[in-house]
Each structure stands twice: as structure tokens, then as C-alpha cells.
Amino acid sequence: MIEVQNISKTYVNGDITFEALRGVTFTIEDGEFVAIMGPSGSGKSTLMHILGALDSPSNGTYLLNGKDISFMTEDELADIRREKIGFVFQAFNLLPRTTVLRNVMLPLVYDGVPHETREKRAKKALKDAGMDETHFNHKSNQLSGGQIQRVAIARALVNDPTIILADEPTGNLDSKTGDIVLGTFQKLNEDFGRTIILITHEHDVAEHAERIIHIKDGMILSDSKAHARRKIKR
């Protein structure tokens, strides 16, 4: 599904040059659950932006489903983001005075999907994300942190993307609630075959994935199976 070949990213500010990524190479197969882990300044956020088609590499190749998207136009990248990638962020980014169902339906509204179809798809996405139907008409500011993040996951699912890209999704949650959210990702991966890419700086969080890519100073330190993978009862 994903093939990254010798990716580098260089930022230039006047006379100052900063190499955020330096020759990164790896593949992610369809249906994998991969954590990309590293400390602040490691390059993981830059890599996330490239994988999410939010930025382009300075050099190297990024193949998504065999198609080189490394140097696509902004309009082409926007199409990739809309059709292929579902984003889950640390800050949730939901509309606070809007119902759960409406929040999840919004991406479909922008795509011009008929009301009946978008409501049906939004309800399915919410159920797949583990959200109880009794909360569908609650406003997002009436929910717990874990419930809000499940709504955000459902919103990422509603366009049926190829990849779920989760950027520090438990960063604003306590450990117990974070485990619930990570269990949701495990469920989506194991029960529905979703490809999950989890960005984190915490080893405990990364251990919920099947595989961990450890990045530091813009380079891959290790890429291995998570032998001590933490499983959560669901």
C-alpha cells in the first residue's frame, strides 16, 4: 500500500538549513497497524505530514497504492486526502455545539452526498468506532474525552478511506480513556482490516500497534514487530 523510498525533507530559512528527514525508507502493507514513534524534533511530524499528503518531500519517492504522489499538485493532494486518508488528531477538532451525527456527516456534506446516504454512512461509521447509538444526537460538548475521540474516529471513517492516520490521538486523554481509544483502533484493524498509522512519542502507546518504526534525528533507528504488543479487552 505505502512505499517510502529514500525520503528527505529540508527546510530553508534564510541562511539556515534544517534536515527534518534524512533518507527514510519503509513499506506499510494493506491492513497493518503501525506506530511511528519518536521524541519531539525526531521528524515524525514531518513524516506524518508527508504520509498524509499534507506536504511533499524534498527528495525521494512516496508511492500510495503504486501511484507516486511525491510531487503532485495541491489539488491532487487534496483529492488524495479526501478519498484515501482519514485523519484523527489530538485536539479532536469537532464542532462543540453540533450533534455527534452532524459532526460525522460534515465531510459528506462538503462532498455533496445526499442526506439519506450521508446519515446512513455516518451511523455506520459511529457504530464501527464503538459509539453507542444513544449518543448520536448528543452535542459533542456533552461527551467525555474518550467519546469525543471516538466521534473523531468515526468522522475519519465516514469517507471509507484506505488509511487511518492518527496523530497523538491519546495526548489529551488520561491513561484509562486512552486505552479505550487505542482499543477502538485495534478493533478497526482486527475486525475491519483497516490500515492504521499511529504517530506517538510514548512507547506504551506504540506497543498497541503490531509494528513500531522508531525515528530519531530524521532517520529510522529501528523497524520491528511489537513483540510485547499490548492487547486491550474490548
pTM, rounded to two decimals: 0.90
Over residues 36-90, the pLDDT tens digits come to 999 999 999 999 999 999 988 999 999 999 999 887 888 998 889 988 999 998 8
Q: Sorting pLDDT into bands at 50, 70 and 90, what band is 111?
A: confident
Q: Name every residue whose Cβ is closer than 8 Å to that of residue 99 and which is 6 or more positions away in sequence.
A: 136, 137, 138, 139, 140
Over residues 130-167, the pLDDT tens digits come to 899 999 999 988 898 889 999 999 999 999 998 999 99
Q: In what order do the strands lie in the sheet with 33-37?
A: 85-89, 163-167, 195-200, 33-37, 211-216, 219-225
pLDDT of residue 96: 83
Write down the domain spans for the chain.
2-225
**Distance (Å, whole) CA 165 – CA 207:** 16
Q: Which of 28-32, 147-151, 211-215, 216-220 has the lowest mean pLDDT?
A: 147-151
Return phi, psi of residue 46, to 5°.
-60, -45
Which grid coordinates are listed for 53?
Answer: 499528503
**Distance (Å, whole) CA 174 – CA 177:** 5
Provide the CATH topology of domain 2-225. Answer: Rossmann fold (3.40.50)
